[in-house]
Structure 1
Amino acid sequence: MRIVGSLVGLPLSDTLTRRTPENVNSRTSALVQGMHERGWVEGVNVRYEIRSSFGGPENRATAIKELLDLNPDVILTSSTVETAAMMAATKTIPIVFATANDPVGNGFVESLTRPGGNVTGFTSSTPEMGGKWLELLREAAPQIERVGALFNPQSTPRAGRFYLDSIQSEAAATGVTVTPVPITEPNAIDEAIRAYAGAPSAGMIVLVDPFLVINRLAIVDAAAKYRVPMIYPFHYFIDAGGLMSYGASLEIRSAAYIDLILRGTRAGDLPVQSPRKYELLINRKVAETLGLKLPASLLARADEIRE
């Protein structure tokens, strides 16, 4: 019986983590299915041990200790924060990050092609995404004059600078004023978004950030309440009722690497893989409630339009 540990940043009750037959968006269910397709049957030759780091540093430390005490054969981490914490705890157990930004800059791997060490995995975006988000937001709402970039400096790559540089570069070329909007507590979400309601016309960009994914319902609700056009990095926000998202198609490819590691491949010999596809999702009904008349050119580029 091989043991696959998993450290997730979301609560175990979150729909993206919880395993139920009808929950097609569950990352855990997708992992188990991918492993089953490769011959790993839960309860027969593999056991999954999932722990959540949600709740702060103490909870994270407890979750990591519980996983390490099980002596797993490989550990899957869900984000940049969890990967950094797990790497600090073990230099021997193979680690696969399901999604991470700037793995070289964060010191996770020596290079994307030859990671070295005991870590490898998958990236979810590049710094240039920031400028693309602003470009798409302005296409959807060309009247906007100011834009807020929402993030938690404690959990987003390089405390926000990973994306802010390209956002501000795009803004300088278009005359839009961009302001970083750092928040660290869920109760700050409502006020942060309310500041972008009313005149002069404004919109917001949500950066790649596990804190914001955890609090996606509060963010989408506040955007609707204050009628603020927002663009998001993941479809999770559109599933919750957001306006539009642009980002990597988050295929659950971790099973392929976990399978190889369980069969003897060293994690450090497996190259870090970049996204194979980026997708644009638009909720036309939300656009109508915001009074936005989306141009045909934008709708034509959408991979999915929800009504």
Structure 2
Amino acid sequence: MKRREFIAGTAALFVSPRHSRAQGKRHRLGFLAVGDGSGKTLNKAELAFLDGLRSYGWIEGKNLIIEYRFSQPADRLAASVTNLIALSPDVLIAPGPQAAKALKSATATIPIVFVSVADPVRLGLVQSLSRPGGNMTGISTMVPDDFLEKRLEILRELVPGASKIALLVNPDNPMQRLYLAEGQISRTAQRLGVALLTVEATKAEELDLAFASAAAQHADAIIDWGDPLTYVEAPRIIALAAKYHLPANYLFRHYANGGLSVYGADIGDLFRRAADYVDKILKGTKPSDLPVERPTKFELIINLKTAKALGLTVPPSLLVRADEVIE
């Protein structure tokens, strides 16, 4: 053997296997998605997560395998969780409190990154925001101020004199259930001097009854608290608000396509930031060492076309504060 060939071959023994492992190993993610309502496709906010991963060099099909399972409708959740756990992924992604609770209960070892959970501490997902502990961390939607109170104030600016406002809730949502049980809703209503009545829906076919109940109780307006169910059923909810002539406030941007007003965290930004957690965990950081972060971007969107259809005049003070006005 020639000396040059011997040196090259020897070098390959030391360099190639390591290089091959670095380039060839594919990590596996388990994504318990909410979806776009079809039960098969990610929604726009969830797609931002994939953009975030690409910015860190994680490419699906190249160095990353992503297994998608869906949590909607709700009766699919248990099977989706079992499916994902059986795949032994390197990291699990949990959008929303139902998915986060379900995955937390299913594994204490696989790292979990949650997205869009209002208060993960009170829900028992983490020990504290700064020191999560355990196998879970992520991004909350919790802000220091009373977020619901701000949404109510926006509605009262749109509907001056509104004294009775319906709150659309999903009792199967553990975060909403906790807030209701603790009486926070009643305290918020008392501070603002309004009557807050709750109308419930745990599945799509119950939404019609919820809106009919709000109208029957003479609600002046309605707030969709925000939930995976109502997220995927946004078109139906917008249509029901129009049918019952109920001015509404929503949590997510995609409601602005026909919905009167939106105020909430930029969910796309939260999913994009979740990619940073995944990147760190895949590189060896433990979830317990990654503090839970809060939202930094919020959106106020007003739909003037819908306001006109409802006979409402949007005050200039609200238009000035809006991040986007749809005409």
Question: What TM-score results when the alignment is normalised by the length of structure 1?
Answer: 0.89
1:284 to 296, 304, 317: 304
Structure 1 residues 85 and 189 mapped into 2: Cα distance closer, same or farther (>3 Å)?
A: same
The alignment partner of 1:86 has SS state of helix
Partner secondary structure for residue 264 of structure 1:
coil
Provide the residue aligned with 1:5 in structure 2.
30
Shift of residue 282 of structure 1? Answer: 0.6
Given that 1:125 and 1:247 are in contact with CA atoms closer than 8 Å, whether structure 2 keeps it comes out as no
| One-letter identity of the residue aligned with 1:18 | T
Residue in 2 aligned with 1:178?
A: 196
Task: Give the counterpart of 1:261 among 281, 291, 306.
Answer: 281
What does the per-residue CA deviation read over 1:51-72, in whole Å, with 9 as the maximum and x for residues that have no partner? Answer: 1122344x32221222122211
Instruction: Name the CA distance, whole Å, in 1 between partners of 2:59 and 2:203.
Output: 40
- Equivalent residue runs for 1:131-280 within 5 Å: 131-155=149-173, 157-159=175-177, 161=179, 165=183, 167-197=185-215, 202-239=220-257, 241-250=258-267, 251=269, 252=271, 253-280=273-300
* Counterparts of 1:71 and 1:160, CA distance in 2: 31
User: Aligned letter for 1:229?
Assistant: P
Compared with structure 1, are the counterparts of its residues 283 and 158 closer, same or farther at alpha carbon in structure 2 (3 Å cutoff)?
A: closer
* Pair member with larger Rg: 2
1:35 is matched by which residue type in structure 2?
L
Deviations 1:14-62 (A, max 9, x none): 6xx725xxxxx623432222111111122221111111122344x3222
CA 1:147–1:156: 2 relative to 1, 3 Å:
farther
Aligned mates of 1:150, 1:53 — CA distance in 2: 20
Distance change >3 Å, CA 149–CA 105, structure 1 → 2: same
Residues 60, 167 of structure 1: alpha-carbon distance in 2 compared, 3 angstrom cutoff: closer
| Cα distance in 2 for residues equivalent to 1:198 and 1:89 | 42
Q: 1:75 to 1:200 in 2, by over 3 A?
A: closer
Structure 2 contact 179–185 (Cα < 8 Å) conserved: no
Q: What are the ranges of 5 or more consecutive residues in structure 1 without an aligned counterpart?
A: 20-24
Indicate whether 1:44 and 2:62 are aligned.
Answer: yes
Contact 2:35–2:41 under 8 Å retained in 1: no
1:129 and 1:163 in contact (8 A); partners too: no
Cα pair 1:18 1:26 within 8 Å, conserved:
no
**Aligned-residue RMSD, C-alpha:** 2.3
Which residue of 2 is the match for residue 295 of structure 1?
315
SS of structure 2 residue aligned to 1:104: coil
Aligned residues, how many? Answer: 298
Q: Secondary structure at the match of 1:68?
A: helix
- 1: CA distance, partners of 2:149 / 2:181: 8
Q: Percent identity?
A: 37
Higher share of residues assigned helix: 2
* Structure 2 residue ranges without an equivalent (≥5): 1-25
Equivalent position SS for 1:193: helix
Whole-angstrom distance in 1 between the partners of 2:183 and 2:314? 27
What pairs up with 1:87-166 in 2 under 5 angstroms?
Answer: 87-126=104-143, 128-155=146-173, 157-159=175-177, 161=179, 165=183
2:180 & 2:294 partners in 1: Cα distance? 16
Deviation at 1:236, TM superposition (A): 2.3
Shift of 1:77: 0.7
CA drift at 1:11? 6.1
- Residue 22 of structure 1: aligned partner: none
1:66 — aligned with what? 83
| Displacement after TM superposition at 1:12 (Å) | 6.8
Aligned CA distance change for structure 1 residues 37 and 162 (closer, same or farther; 3 Å): farther
Amino acid of the structure 1 residue aligned with 2:225: L
Determine the C-alpha separation between the residues in 2 that align with 1:211 and 1:112: 27
2:278, 2:180 → 1: CA distance? 28
What is the CA–CA distance in structure 2 between the aligned matches of 1:181 and 1:115, rounded to whole Å?
34
